[in-house]
Structure 1
Amino acid sequence: MSDIHRASTTAPVNIAVIKYWGKRDPKLNLPTNSSLSVTLAQSDLRTHTTASCSSTYPKEDTLLLNGQSQDVSGARTQACFRELRALRKQLEEKDSSLAKLADLPLRIVSENNFPTAAGLASSAAGFAALVRAIANLYELPSSPTDLSRIARQGSGSACRSLFGGYVGWEQGSASDGSDSVAFQVAPASHWPNMRAVILVVSAAKKGVSSTSGMQITVATSSLFQSRATETVPKRMKEMQKAIQDKDFEAFSKLTMMDSNSFHATCLDTFPPIFYLNDVSRAAIKVVESINAAAGKIIAAYTFDAGPNAVVYYLEENEKEVAGLFKQILNEKDGWQGERGQAVQANADALEKVKFDAGPAITFLEEGVSRVILTGVGEGPVKTEESLIDEKGEPVNSA
């Protein structure tokens, strides 16, 4: 049926090394501080989204995520739809030969290849893919920066998933959010040997959502203000320099300190928010032991609003970092792929940290459910692989 218009994209997860926490405008998702992240490789973590529209569809917009129907009536999703439709409408008004797509109902099908709402930035990849797929469907000439302004309204950190490599998000000061956009600090090709091992502690949904957690923190934490006005602005400058200089030691110190600062602010919230658990703290101890054994910093932990540990390291230190985790967690899911098989379990590395981190190793063995190996990667990629067939029906990927 020629009346069914379709476009597909994949979009990456990003993991912040300078954290976004707190909103100066919850409606527009305007942050109280700037942030900076690493975009992760889509071969390991991605959202695949197909956006379509047709006059034959029922009037309401629909979204199917991992086979489950989602509510699209929320203000965040509606804001993205509204802004993208307005941009398409402008094109149609300028060029009368264009198909009138802006008024047609949207049917969107999306799939994640990782657990949703488990502290793995699923909403960031999800909204980035949604916005990019609809922009492709509408053939918008908008730049990733322009689209980041829209994606931000769906999920704050989604704006950073519209770029590959190392990405900043400027907090901005305009009340309408026009200057709160993402920007690329450096492409993945600038520092391509950055790697990460993600220790998935729990694939369950978290107890306190990021949105409500932020609101409580802004209202009650005494640490929050100094973090937003003093700590983060200084670290943003230092982190951009560390990335430009490919200075892993500086990158790691800032990453770990900012993760600690963010979770201290959560703990300083009333009532306190505990995103980390005993397994998370064990991961911190093991990273500290890896660095002590190496005599320098070769691994850096960071935690978003959840218990999963993301450990950054450089490819040349894979044996000492990923190899050690493989020695401990060889039985866990995640080592099967090409990346996982390339990592050699390292008994010598484990021996060096055993005395220092014995109990922590036991916690990891018992508490990590799966491992994800990844590295720095590219931004959204247009794909011909559609999740909606030519009749407008979802493709059964099972």
Structure 2
Amino acid sequence: MASEKPLVIVTCTAPVNIAVIKYWGKRDEELILPLNSSLSVTLHQDQLKTTTTAAISRDFAEDRVWLNGVEVDVGQPRLQSCLREIRRLAWQQRRTDEGDAPPPHLSYKVHIASQNNFPTAAGLASSAAGYACLAYTLARVYRVEGELSEVARRGSGSACRSLYGGFVQWHMGEQADGKDSIAQQVAPELHWPELWILVLVVSAERKLTGSTAGMQTSVETSTLLQFRATSVVPGRMAEMIRCVRERDFSGFGQLTMKDSNQFHATCLDTFPPISYLNDTSKLIMYLVHRFNAHHGQTKVAYTFDAGPNAVIFTLDDAVAEFMAAVKHCFPPESNGDRFLKGLPVMPVPLSDELKAALALDPSPGSIKYIIATKVGPGPQILDDPHLHLLGSDGLPKPAA
């Protein structure tokens, strides 16, 4: 026991990922095995990330968890599933390395604090970043090495894609135990430096229908979902991987929009129907198509996850003009200086021809703000002790 530190503490960050070929529906609820493979883009952590601190100590009486400064129920099934799996892997690896006697730290309770720098449960993939960060941080605290897809997946299916930077596919797998249902990088973060991502935040409110409940209902009632999983997605996965590797934006953009549209059509095909998009979401879609029609090519693409917020993909040569179009159609009401967050975008004037082509009456305040970012790396370890969310007592630090 004397060789064990009284407190082991680690802090890590993990990114948001946005699927361009969507995951919706599970074939195994307990193991979180998807009906189809999916592919995502990892967003840069300078703009969107989860930070998690985990600490283990022989002095802790019980496991405890805080999210965004508020203590939450540590008994949540998915949280417990992640904890059990990481401890199982730690015990399995230690037995292989050190014999049958478990090291003392495997019996220690854990305290976890996590915070997001973006809206939680609003359709911005907060659970993916959160559980990827949890899995990555716990692995370092409990000294687990190797593939973490299964640990992250137990918390949130799409979390396994946030374990990597760049462009990432999640193989649906074929084995009943899910061992082959893992994430794999398709291309690294610097593969497509011209690519921009604009997150148009329409609402930061918690969505009415959670993804887990929505998926279950879709699996039970939507015939379109079954057709999509078996007949549509396999071909789209192959084509999307080609578009990414060849940096074919026209193909990438069109396929991204088509897959987003089909995902939301599946939600409407669910009974009772699920509608994650609102009127502003639909106006953004219209704006994108009018913008592309004006240019005679696909310059911009949208995708929507399970929420009304739009994620826009575009390239260096179109980002400033599209930002000007967004501001023209959705002018900020009062926070003009805070309307654009993240990377700066040089303002440009909007031509009269494009204004006429858009043919949209301004809708002030419909978009709350925009986060401009690029493709980013996977999880990171923070070495600076000042960045820990927990103090030396294992409790959350006071808010600054």
Q: Please confirm whether the aligned pair reaches a TM-score higher than 0.5, indicating the same fold.
A: yes
Q: How far 1:162 moved relative to its partner?
A: 0.1
Q: 2:186–2:241: 8 Å Cα contact kept in structure 1?
A: yes
Q: Structure 1 length as normaliser, TM-score? A: 0.93
| SS, match of residue 107 in structure 2 | coil
> Which position in structure 1 is the counterpart of 2:178?
177
Q: Distance in 1 between matches of 2:25 and 2:353?
A: 40
- Compute the displacement of 1:92 (Å): 3.4
2:49 pairs with one of 46, 51, 70: 46
Q: Separation in 2 of the partners of 1:100 and 1:194?
A: 48
Q: Deviations over 1:306-329 (max 9, x none)?
A: 000111011232222234324544
Task: Name the counterpart of 2:114.
Answer: 110
* 158 and 338 in structure 1: CA distance in 2 versus 1, 3 angstrom threshold: closer
Structure 2: distance between partners of 1:105 and 1:99: 13
Q: Please list the CA deviations of residues 245-296 of structure 1 after superposition, one character each: whole Å capped at 9, or x if unmatched.
A: 0000000010000000000111111111110110000000111111112221
Match of 2:68 in 1: 66
| 2:286 corresponding residue in structure 1 | 285
> What CA distance in whole angstroms lies between the structure 1 residues aligned with 2:271 and 2:372?
35
* Inter-partner Cα distance in structure 1 for 2:393 and 2:78: 29
Give the CA RMSD over aligned residues.
1.9
Counterparts of 2:22 and 2:136, CA distance in 1: 24
CA contact (8 A) 1:127 1:155 kept: yes
The alpha carbon displacement at 1:222 in A equals: 2.0
CA distance in 1, matches of 2:217, 2:136: 31
CA distances 1:139-161 after superposition (whole Å, capped 9, x unpaired): 2221xxx2012101100100000
* Aligned residues of 2:339 and 2:368 also touching (Cα < 8 A): no
> Relative to structure 1, is the Cα distance of residues 338 and 175 closer, same or farther in structure 2, using a 3 angstrom cutoff?
closer
Q: 1:191 to 1:104 in 2, by over 3 A?
A: same
Q: Give me the TM-score of the superposition, normalised by structure 2.
A: 0.93
Query: Which residue in the other structure is 1:389 paired with?
Result: 391
Mapped partners of 2:72, 2:268: distance in 1: 32
Q: 2-side partners of 1:257 and 1:336: how far apart?
A: 27
- Aligned match of 2:229: 228
For 2:66 and 2:270, the matched residues in 1 are separated by 35
Structure-2 residue corresponding to 1:133 = 137
Q: Deviations over 1:205-242 (max 9, x none)?
A: 11111111111111111211111001111100000000
- CA 1:269 to 1:98, structure 2 compared with 1: closer, same or farther past 3 Å? closer
- The CA distance in 1 between the partners of 2:51 and 2:178, in whole Å, is 27
Change (3 A) 1:176 1:188: same
Unaligned runs of 5+ in 2: none
Matched residue, 1:56: 59
Q: Whole-Å Cα distance in 2 between the matches of residues 42 and 281 of structure 1?
A: 28
Matched, 1:368 2:367: yes
Other-structure match for 2:16: 13
Separation in structure 2 between the aligned mates of residue 277 and residue 220 of structure 1, nearest angstrom: 23
Name the % identity: 47
| SS of structure 2 residue aligned to 1:216 | helix
The amino acid across from 2:7 in the alignment is I
Cα 1:373–1:334, aligned 2, differ >3 Å: closer, same or farther?
farther
Tell me the alpha carbon deviations over residues 55-82 of structure 1, each in whole angstroms, 9 at most, x when there is no partner.
1112x21110101111221221111111
Deviation at 1:334, TM superposition (A): 4.5
84-93 or 257-266: bigger deviation = 84-93
Tell me which residue corresponds to 1:266: 267
What are the Cα deviations for residues 344-391 of structure 1, in whole angstroms up to 9, with x where unaligned?
333325x334334343x534x332112111111000001122111222
- The answer to whether the Cα contact below 8 Å between 2:342 and 2:373 also exists between their aligned partners in 1 is no
Q: Distance between the aligned counterparts of 2:162 and 2:75, measured in 1? A: 23
Unpaired segments ≥5 residues, structure 1 = none
Give 2:77's aligned residue: 75
1:64-111 Cα deviation digits (max 9, x unpaired): 010111122122111111111112223433337985222111100111
Residue type of the partner of 2:137?
Answer: A
Residues 50 and 133, structure 1, Cα contact 8 Å, conserved in 2: yes
